[in-house]
Amino acid sequence: MKQTILLILFLLTTLFAGAQSNLSFNGYIKELSMFYKPVNPIPTGTDSLDFLFLNQIHNRLNFRWYATSELTFAVEARNRLFFGQMIKKFPYYKDMIDTDNGFLDLGTVLVSGDSWFLHSMIDRAWVDYTKGDWQVRVGRQRINWGLNLVWNPNDIFNTYSYFEFDYEERPGSDAVRIQYYTGFTSSAQLVYKIGRTANETSVAGLYRFTKSNYDFQFLGGWAGKDVVLGGGWTGDINGGGFRGEFSYFHPRSKNNGSDQAFVASISGDYTLKNSLYFHTSVLFNSNGKTGKAGGGSFFGEKLTAKSLSRSMVNLFAQVSYPFTPLLSGDFATIINPLDGSAFLGPTLTYSLGNNWELMLNGQLFVGQSGTEYGDYGKAVYGRIKWSF
């Protein structure tokens, strides 16, 4: 795998250098530092830690080859150098990063040491053919069926976590997607996500259309262990955005380890004339708990469209404002009203110049022990990013 990834990146670089007129290339380099303080000291065998440091240098490379007016090839890779206290104290962190949930394993640890490792992954690799009203895309791709900005019950193929702010591109799926544009504002999609077993395979269709200045969508199919039916809408009320989506999951067979669930989220957002932005959302999960919801691991918890929260209800609120053309601030919170726990997320972003950005971010989790957010602790991040 290591040799394959290096060979692909070498061939792409060579191809780009030889035929730039038909190729595009961009990406970024960023450095992310994290200071993490758990609720309780973390045992490490011989001692315990009151806090952890982790640093990451992240390089992304995006390649496109426009072979013809109808045929496009794309490969995108993320190369990340991790180093710091966490790597040395918790060797399993490397194994967690080196996990590819796709049909093909396109990630590998290239080199590593006692307190560092370099990981490379191809998270996009697809071929796209478009002719007339038809579009077919095959390979690792982002299939974005979600409509809301925080929780997406319709995003059944590649769900993402709001807390994973440093992965702007979001996960992809190894899939075949066929899309037919039935009109100027309407389309039908059929997606087959390849899995190693039937419980890892998904086949679903989606239809989108516009009615009365609202965009609607309906979906249905087979998603892993479940049959799923859902839908959603986007529109506005008096100039403010109004979105919603819902999905109902029912086990495909008895005793397959899955439970039926209804998951829905509704959101609204509005920008004032002075650029002050407000955003609020509510999430309902019929499978969620009504008491103390309990927490998982701060690192690497797997998320699905069926498990967007551990609680039956979550509330989200956000306000942001550009203080100057270069400096903007944002504050977001997620509250579990049933167990009293919460997430607080302040962010400051400053533009240092052309393609340079500095960001300070906090992820502060509060609540009693055993609540949804009470056992995560607190993390502070600093990031500098250069895009090219």
Question: How buried is 95 (Cβ within 10 angstroms: 0-12 exposed, 13-18 middle, 19+ buried)?
Answer: exposed
Q: What is the pTM of this model?
A: 0.90
Rounded distance between C-alpha atoms, residue 215 and residue 211, angstroms: 6
Q: Give the pLDDT confidence score for residue 55 in this predicted structure.
A: 97
Q: In the chain, which stretches have pLDDT less than 50?
A: 3, 17-18
Amino acid at 350: Y
Rounded distance between C-alpha atoms, residue 173 and residue 125, angstroms: 10
Q: Give the pLDDT confidence score for residue 244 in this predicted structure.
A: 98
Rounded distance between C-alpha atoms, residue 249 and residue 246, angstroms: 10
Rounded distance between C-alpha atoms, residue 363 and residue 371, angstroms: 16
| Residues ≥6 apart with Cβ < 8 Å to 10 | none
Cross-strand partners of 226: 223, 251
Q: Give the pLDDT confidence score for residue 15 in this predicted structure.
A: 53
Q: Give the pLDDT confidence score for residue 13 in this predicted structure.
A: 52
* Chain centre to alpha carbon of residue 59: 18
The phi and psi torsions of 71 (rounded to 5 degrees) equal: -120, 125
Q: Give the pLDDT confidence score for residue 1 in this predicted structure.
A: 54
Q: Give the pLDDT confidence score for residue 88 in this predicted structure.
A: 85
Q: Give the pLDDT confidence score for residue 86 in this predicted structure.
A: 85
Q: Which helix (H) or strand (E) holds 72?
A: strand 71-83
Domains, the chain, with CATH or none: 1-123 (no CATH), 132-388 (2.40.160.10)
Rounded distance between C-alpha atoms, residue 278 and residue 264, angstroms: 21
Beta-carbon neighbour count of residue 272 at 10 Å? 9
| Cβ-contact 335, 273 below 8 angstroms | no
Q: Give the pLDDT confidence score for residue 8 in this predicted structure.
A: 56
Q: Give the pLDDT confidence score for residue 91 in this predicted structure.
A: 79
| Cβ-contact 140, 123 below 8 angstroms | yes
